[in-house]
Every structure is written in C-alpha cells, then in structure tokens.
Amino acid sequence: MAKPPLTEEDGIDGDLVRSALILFPALLAFLMLPSCNKQPGTLVQVQQVRSGNHVLTLLNDTGAVKQHSNKFTLEIRDAESSALANVTSVQIQATMRMPGMAPMFGNVSSPRQTEPGRYEFDADFSMAGQWSFLVTFDPNGRAQLNINAQ
C-alpha cells in the first residue's frame, strides 16, 4: 500500500522544502560561475625567448605543463615590430636530458600553422621534469625553450 504524501504532521515543513528546491539550483549556478570566467580561446604564456630577430612565445590554456598530453600554441613574432612573422619550415623536438644516459625524446606532433607566425602542436611527456623544446624555422632560425612538466 502506498504511503500518503508527507505533511507538516510528519515533521516536514513544506515552506522549507519549497525554499530549498528554489535555492539549490541558484546555489549550484553560483558555485559553477568561477569555472566560466575564462574566455574561450584565451591562452597563457608558458615561456618566451628571443632568437635573433624573432621572439618565440609558448602558450597553452593554463600556463602550466603537465606530464603526458599537452596542447600548445607557438607564436613567432618579429622582435622589433611584434607582428607575427611569416616563417617557414617550423620543426619542434622535445628532449629530456638524463644524466649518464642518452636523452629521452617526447612525442611532438608536426606544428599546424593556424595563421602566419602561429602554430599549434601537441606534446606528450612520458616523465615529469625538465624538458627542452628545440624549435627550428626558416632557413637559420633556432631557439630553445625550457619547460618543467609536472
């Protein structure tokens, strides 16, 4: 046999239940608000180095590098004008020096040019620690970016 609905005689305050049902979604939305503050597509600088007439900036969503899978954006700019530089033949290699052993290589995808001077790539670091990106580009450009995967 089904029980009748709860009433105030059962010790349940109907107004309190209605208030909780109204306030709970508002509280949940308020608690989720900080995660929505970040604008989509906003990138944070991981590291920046100068190489000859160019400035290379490594960016990602958080500014932190983690062990395993990472998505990066590399910007190559003219050092004087700060305009994105239309360089060619961009290649990226990741290595970790291992004392007394051969270096370890990270898995780095081929850079995808999204616009002149801006490249996206994925990198996977099998170990946490100090990694170096060697970036080579347009006939003699070369730069090293040192990062710490955590």
Q: Where are the domains of the chain?
A: 44-149
pLDDT at 65: 95
Question: Which amino acid is present at 86?
Answer: N
Q: How many CB atoms lie within 10 A of CB 142?
A: 11
Q: What is the spatial distance between Cα 51 and Cα 32, in angstroms, rounded to a whole number?
A: 42
Token code pair at residue 97: 């020096």
Predicted confidence (pLDDT) per residue in 115-146, tens digit: 999 999 999 999 999 999 999 998 789 999 99
**pTM flag (> 0.75):** no
Predicted confidence (pLDDT) per residue in 26-82, tens digit: 655 555 555 454 455 799 999 999 999 999 999 999 999 999 999 999 999 999 999
Burial 106-140 (b: 16+ CB within 10 A, else e): bebeebeeeeebbbebebebeeeeebebebbbeee
Q: Which CATH number fits domain 44-149: 3.40.630.30, 2.60.40.10, 3.10.450.50, 1.10.10.10?
A: 2.60.40.10
